[in-house]
Amino acid sequence: MEYATIFIILACLFGFFMAWGVGANDVANAMGTSVGSKAVTIKQAFIIAAVFEFSGAFLAGGEVTKTIRKGMIDPDVLAASPDLVVFGMLAALLAAGIWLLVASRAGWPVSTTHSIVGAIVGFAAVGIGMEAVQWGKVGTIVMSWVISPALAGVISYWLFVSVQRLILDTPNPLASAKRYVPFYIFLVGFIIALVTVYKGLKHVGLHLSTQESYVAAVVLGLAVMVIGVFFIRRLKFDPAADADFHFANVEKVFGVLMIFTACAMAFAHGSNDVANAVGPVAAVVGIAQTGSVAAETVMPAWILLLGGVGIVIGLVTYGHRVIATVGTGITELTPSRGFAATLGAATTVVIASGTGLPISTTHTLVGAVLGVGLARGIAALNLNVVRTIFLSWIVTLPAGAILAIIFFFMLKGIFS
């Protein structure tokens, strides 16, 4: 293929830009609840995200990338025109990256998944033909955008209700917190471990049976629980603090739990959303090297690495704006509320990663925060912020698609 080297270089640049956007916008979502509930400082959030986003992307990011790469466009229709796929994937990366830059500047938590899916469908429908798009698959993805915030909202709602019943509404909330929080910590460790072992470690070469996966997840969950208990025992409690805010000491215990859920959310997010940046890159590299459109291309480790590094840089340089919206804009968060929202969202995301559905982490997390807010009554929500977020979601799909169509024809004009 002529220009093969140029295409690979462009794919890496645009993919890195897109990954930067994922970090600036989406990772900020993942960390917003932890920072907003004051369980972690913004600097600690950056360190947690850097380690766990990167691990999630690198260890468990392979499953979803397949859907983004080959699920939405029909490989048979594209076999005749590999160069059009290259232009399209490059255009999609650039379009989604630019839209994320705009949204991050404004502090809107938009969906990177929407951006890239809209962009890919836009260029395929207009640039190649309506028959190139697998509309059934796109329908499934769109359905997942409705189901994921609803599911996360329900899980988070019931998690927070369980916290109220078991801990906050008891005669001695602090004693109850010390008793029950270790079990919540176990749950966090277990869920994340299970999904990682099940789905994430295949391309590292580890293949465990179902039984072995569950045993490994229980062991890892217990290990995380022991670490959590160690930190809870080291907390200093001040009875006077409860005079100002009845649950000040209880929230300290939940602060420890929030650190674990923040790690879980970052890992879950990296595993799901790195696909948005590296899926198209892998497609371009595969076509440039072989000259043909393959239904399956191997995901080289260096591309996952590129995505992981881009995500971390995006968060550190530009993430603070969206963190403010999610962490403090929608509803007032405390560590116990933040925990319920984050674990609800992380659970939903890891289930989706496991089934290969590219859901929107943003929608999932905002759904989870809304669920926790609703558990305290509708008055606890800032409906103006919620309205702005919903509007920015609606704009994202067409924005991605229109930008991608423009760039597609520009690249086609330059290179053909």
Question: pLDDT (tens digit, 9 = 90+) per residue, 237-288?
Answer: 777 766 666 677 788 888 887 887 778 778 777 776 777 777 778 878 877 7
What confidence tens digit (pLDDT) does each residue in 17-37 have? Answer: 998 988 888 777 777 777 877
User: Per-residue pLDDT averaged across 142-151, rounded?
Assistant: 80
Identity of the highest mean pLDDT range in 3-7, 269-273, 319-323: 3-7
Structure tokens at 252: 């300290």
Percent of the chain surpassing pLDDT 90:
3
Percent of the chain surpassing pLDDT 70:
84
Nearest CA among 349, 390, 345, 404 for reference residue 371: 345
pLDDT score at 13: 92
Q: Inform me whether the pLDDT recorded for 222 exceeds 90.
A: yes
pLDDT score at 47: 86
Higher pLDDT, 7 or 386: 7
Higher pLDDT, 271 or 216: 216
Q: Inform me whether the pLDDT recorded for 354 exceeds 70.
A: no
pLDDT score at 219: 92
Identity of the highest mean pLDDT range in 199-213, 277-291, 302-316: 302-316
Nearest CA among 99, 111, 52 for reference residue 364: 111
> CA-to-CA distance for 314 and 21, rounded, in angstroms?
6
pLDDT score at 358: 66
pLDDT score at 318: 80
pLDDT band at residue 294, thresholds of 50, 70 and 90? low
pLDDT mean across residues, the chain:
79
pLDDT score at 60: 64
pLDDT band at residue 226, thresholds of 50, 70 and 90? very high
Q: Please, where are the H alpha helices in 247-378?
A: 248-290, 301-318, 320-324, 335-355, 361-375
Contact (Cβ atoms closer than 8 angstroms) between residue 366 and residue 344: no
Residue 198 sits at φ, ψ, to 5 deg, of -65, -50
Each domain of the chain, given as residue ranges in start order, spans: 4-415
381: helix, coil or strand? strand
What confidence tens digit (pLDDT) does each residue in 77-100 have? Answer: 666 777 777 888 888 889 989 998
Q: Inform me whether the pLDDT recorded for 67 exceeds 60.
A: no
The three-point CA angle 127-132-133 to 5° equals 100
Residue type for position 134 = Q
The three-point CA angle 292-293-298 to 5° equals 105
The CA–CA distances, whole Å, from 5 to 11, 289, 336 equal: 10, 9, 51
Rounded to the nearest 10 degrees, the angle between the axes of helix 248-290 and helix 112-123 is: 20
Higher pLDDT, 71 or 111: 111
Show Cβ contacts of residue 167 under 8 Å, excluding neighbours closer than 6 positions: 173, 176, 177, 180, 181, 250, 336
Identity of the highest mean pLDDT range in 33-42, 281-290, 309-318: 309-318
Nearest CA among 134, 131, 99, 128 for reference residue 115: 99
The pTM (predicted TM-score) of the whole model is 0.77
Structural element, H or E, at residue 175: helix 173-195
pLDDT band at residue 116, thresholds of 50, 70 and 90? confident
Structural element, H or E, at residue 167: none
> CA-to-CA distance for 66 and 68, rounded, in angstroms?
6
Q: Output DSSP code: residue 331.
A: B
252: helix, coil or strand? helix
